[in-house]
Structure 1
């Protein structure tokens, strides 16, 4: 009876998942992102199969482990993964936990990501075919069990992460782990070089075989040498592990769909004597009581530290002075959607006369209070540790410019480019899931990383030209950007507040058009292939530029004996520098194509739409609340 219910539930949820996929593919932007991600995934999957065809067993073992890590940590940076079928939707249905978790697991196995991972795991079949007929037969169940383990590990990691984010200590721990992982994706080459230079490649491969992500590979390898006891133990162990993860996930789903959330007793009332003080106290309490705020703040500061400390593994101290600046840039990017995070709670600000300017300035002060002292302390300590005297005027000039620029830009982007997210009181048991606009939120983060970094350019140029005179330039730049961008944000909030509330409450309605003068409307005039190609170039241009050009160049200049996955280092010595140069040109060319496409689109003219009777004299809309 239970098996039949689980099977029927799985069948229904799979059909719902397929229907959701079909509907999502009507969005051309989503199709472009899915196509780009699928293409990149298939390239990496092909590389894994190529390693298996060459008979490089150690590389295949490590590659499969990397795929498993991608499944575990990927959803933590992508809004909690794809939860089209939210478990809360089925709270009122009389479904046993095992039936619901089994159905959701079956639905999770349907999609582009599982299909790409299945292609990558076919490397086990290729490797088994080279070993023996028995190994080839064993590879089939090993691939299926390993794929299920990937999906279960991903869902279980998201569920555990959601539990951690509901307590303060857990939110801090999750932020530290996330910051280390993201910093490793950018600066992990230093740790890899340090490990490889100490001749531990075999140890890494052995560890990959011992880890659960390598049990399917170990079963195929054992079958190839006729060790059937180890083959059976590896497959049975993988099946038991999948069962345990399913049970644990079921228990967490029960907690997620049945837990009650009680109110919090007020510990201390506001004692502000004026409106500005009340707005500031309210905002500071938002940062200290909302666990997502605290999680993102700790993540940004930890990321700056990890990003600049990792090169120490190869003895490079030049990054140390910039840890505070990196924390500020990441912090600004993480908090670039403050009003979007407020959701419909924004109506309280909107209904209070004259509150726009006070609210904007309060949010700016709160950001400076949270990030200013830690960034300054980190900068002073690590610059002193680095013993690089020439770095002092540079970092002390850039830091105030970045703080002021970030404090101004986060409010400007929050007002002009707000992205609707799930209201705080409607958050699901997965706090990472902020609604249906994770892609748009992630795009805003990327844009803000660039814009905030650019605010330090005048101060850095002045410091390079006149050393210590760059500090007053940085202070002036920071104060000016903080004041002017905040002023623009407050004026926009006063004039377009009702429209912003409508957006946050209802989201962008299907068929809603961007203003004719916007870049989106101008881009729509370009051919679809050009827009898609420009997006892919801007999204993936860093791959040939950084890991395939900059990093191998650093390896060669520092005489690091490591090849890893750097194409140039696998060629003959005479061709290594030409390949590095070619990869650098490819990456720069991709960025140039994408940037030029957007620049040309911005110069296009669009026919003005019919006059809107609601358009007021100063260009705004008079929308009734």
Structure 2
């Protein structure tokens, strides 16, 4: 009876998952992300098969470890992973925990990512080198795939538990920041490890990790060591079962535990509307765990990003930890009003509240990130010993702080993305609604916009030194004032429409109108625009901005994968300029394509005229 119930539940959930996937393909934006991700995944899977065909088992076991690491940490950067079927949907159904978790696991396997991982795990068959070992590779790759998916689900569940506790939210932010910084600056750690001849240690550690058990089982079968091969397969099965049981327990906690409110430690005692709004916003940053998580993440990312090159003795990045943290903070706070959800009605229903509310959010942002990033900048610049960096960073930092404080409110008003209300968040706080792709798109755009606000101050500082500081302060104040003024005016005029959007989301007609102009474009143009927006950061930041910083701070030793630093003399600046132009052109082409498509959509011109 229990087996029949599990089978029926799994079958139903798989059909629901596939139906949701078909609906997702109808959305042009989500389809572009799925196609791009699938293309990249297939390329990585092909690379894994190529490594297996070469017979390099040490490299293959490390690559398999990276695949499992991607499954574990990937969902942490993608809004909690694909939760099309949330466990909360089935709270009222009389399903045992193990039945629900098994059904959700089977449904999770019916997706693009598991299919691509399965292709990559065929490397076990390719590396077997014989019929007998190949037969062992088949159950090994199936069990390995189950472990990948279960590790991903369990990591998201544990991460969600951590985010419900203040200390856990801080720890999760530190881990998140380190992983993302490693993706950008991990080359320094890799170079340091390779230079100490620890490649063999990496392979040994990868074989000990569960991600390597399948390959070790295949190798053991090839040598005729059947006891070890069978033991490793049983180990994978037991590990998968243990993770399934743990995930089931966390699902029970997620769908049954309710968080009750606590009495405020200190009541608001403001004497003016501006003071009340500022106090409310500051408490959001200190008491809302997601706000706090993002603040810690932004600061920790700036630190990790600039500290990692110390592994190879490079100190020239240290002065830029504060500015990097501000850029990341601005991008993470780009949807402040969207995060309010329906609570925005309290602001809307208070006459004359738009300007105080906008300025309060700006003030809170500056109070949270201003002192901390200034302290980081001063201490790390002193530690680096790069005296030429003082006028640069002290010019750039105030410009970035003011620019970010202005852009976050303007962006969150003009490009608000509906998210789940704070009181309706699921047991997975990472998942904030059905618009994760749109939210991430705004984050990427804000990274570029915030970074560009320091351009005038940086140019003046490069040519005149300390005169860049007053220019940076002036440009920061101007950006803070102007963008805040624009956001307040927008709230006064379009506040009811914003509340409707946050409460009900976009209607099907609005969604169709939004993508109508894009659907009318040729497929190659849509694909090219998506590619440019997704990969424009590669030439702009690591191939242009980072080498330029190295050149300006006198670091001529580090080359790594920076193409410009392999050139001689003036050609270095030529390559930096070309890469910067290429990155900006990619962003410009992709952005203009989407903008013009939206303007050409039916009915958009009428709406614009009405506004």
TM-score exceeds 0.5: yes
Distance 1:2 1:50 in 2: 43
Whether 1:530 and 2:528 are equivalent positions in the alignment is no
TM-superposed CA distance for 1:168, in Å, is: 0.3
Residue 399 of structure 1: aligned partner = 397
Contact 2:52 2:123 in 1 (8 A): yes
Task: Please say if residues 541 and 587 of structure 1, whose CA atoms lie closer than 8 Å, have aligned partners that are also in contact.
Answer: no
Distance in 1 separating the partners of 2:403 and 2:575:
36
Partners of 2:395 and 2:472 within 8 A in 1: yes
**1:336-351 to 2 correspondences below 5 Å:** 336-351=334-349
User: Are the structure 2 counterparts of residues 368 and 70 from structure 1 closer, same or farther at C-alpha, using a change threshold of 3 Å?
Assistant: same
Change (3 A) 1:47 1:601: closer
Would you say 1:414 and 2:412 are equivalent positions? yes
Structure 1 residue 229, shift from structure 2 partner: 1.6
Tell me the distance in 2 between the aligned counterparts of 1:615 and 1:47: 48
| Match of residue 103 from structure 2 | 103
CA deviation after TM superposition for structure 1 residue 110, in Å: 0.6
Q: Deviations over 1:90-143 (max 9, x none)?
A: 000111000000000000111000000001101111001x2x222111000000
* Secondary structure of residue in 2 paired with 1:511: helix
Alignment of 1:444-593 (within 5 A): 444-512=442-510, 526-542=521-537, 558=557, 592=585
* Paired residues, number: 598
Q: C-alpha separation between the residues in 1 aligned to 2:467 and 2:545?
A: 32
What's the offset of the Cα at 1:528?
2.9
Aligned to 1:166: 164
Shift of 1:507: 0.7
Q: Does 1:30 align with 2:30?
A: yes
Q: CA deviation at 1:542?
A: 4.8
1:429 aligns with: 427
Instruction: Tell me the secondary structure at the aligned position of residue 509 of structure 2.
Output: coil
Instruction: Name the CA shift for 1:114/1:601 in 2 (closer, same or farther; >3 Å).
Output: closer
From the superposition, tell whether residues 38 and 582 of structure 1 become closer, same or farther in structure 2 (CA, over 3 Å): farther
Provide the TM-score with structure 1 as the length reference: 0.90
- Determine whether 1:17 maps to 2:12: no
Compare the two structures and name the one with the higher helix fraction. 2
Cα distance in 1 for residues equivalent to 2:418 and 2:253: 27
Whole-angstrom distance in 2 between the partners of 1:136 and 1:190: 38
Q: 8 Å contact 1:538–1:590 — kept in the other structure?
A: no
Conserved in 2, the CA contact under 8 Å of 1:190 and 1:313? yes
What does residue range 89-488 of structure 1 map to in structure 2 within 5 Å? 89-128=89-128, 130=129, 132-488=130-486
Kept in 1: contact 2:540–2:583 (CA 8 A): no
Greater alpha carbon shift after TM alignment, 538-547 vs 344-353: 538-547
Q: How big is the shift at 1:349?
A: 0.2
CA RMSD, 1 decimal: 3.0
Alpha-carbon shift at residue 599 of structure 1 (Å): 4.0
What whole-Å deviation, never above 9, does each CA across 1:217-269 have from its counterpart, x for those lacking one?
A: 11111111111121111111111000100000000000000102212112211
Q: Would the alpha carbon gap of residues 500 and 176 (structure 1) be closer, same or farther in structure 2, given more than 3 Å must change?
A: same
Aligned equivalents of 1:476 and 1:490: distance in 2?
A: 21
3-state SS in 1 of match to 2:23: helix
C-alpha spacing 1:7/1:584, structure 2 compared with 1 (3 Å): farther
Q: Indicate conservation of the 8 Å contact 1:216/1:235, yes or no.
A: yes
The alignment partner of 1:453 has SS state of helix
Between 538-547 and 371-380, report the one with greater CA deviation.
538-547
Task: Determine helix, strand or coil for the equivalent of 1:512.
Answer: helix
Unaligned runs of 5+ in 1: 621-625
Hey, what's the Cα distance between the residues in 2 that align with 1:52 and 1:497?
58
Partner of 2:553: none
Q: Distance in 2 between matches of 1:481 and 1:413?
A: 13
Corresponding residue number in structure 2 for 1:623: none
How far apart are 1:592 and its partner, in Å? 3.4
1-structure distance, mates of 2:601, 2:40 = 37
Contact 1:328-1:375 within 8 A present in 2 as well: yes
Mean CA deviation greater in 413-422 or 600-609 = 600-609
Provide closer, same or farther for how the CA distance between residues 138 and 524 of structure 1 changes in structure 2, counting only shifts above 3 A: closer
Measure the CA separation in 1 of the matches of 2:528 and 2:605.
34
Change (3 A) 1:70 1:609: closer
| Shift in alpha-carbon separation, 1:610–1:499, aligned structure 2, 3 A | closer
Unaligned runs of 5+ in 2: 551-555
- Please report how far the alpha carbon of residue 567 of structure 1 lies from its aligned counterpart in structure 2 after TM superposition: 13
1:72 aligns with 2:67: no
**Could you tell me which residue of structure 1 aligns to residue 48 of structure 2?**
48
Contact 2:538 2:583 in 1 (8 A): no
Find the residue that maps to 2:508 and give its secondary structure.
coil
Q: Kindly provide the CA deviation profile for residues 370-426 of structure 1, in whole angstroms up to 9, marking residues without a partner as x.
A: 000100000000000000000000000000000000000000000000000000011
Cα offsets for 1:44-68 (capped at 9, x unmatched): 0000000000101111101110000
Task: Return the alpha-carbon distance in structure 2 between the equivalents of residues 466 and 315 of structure 1.
Answer: 29
Q: Does the Cα contact within 8 Å between 1:545 and 1:584 map onto a contact in 2? A: no
Deviation, 1:541, is 4.5
The residue matched to 2:103 in structure 1 has which SS? helix
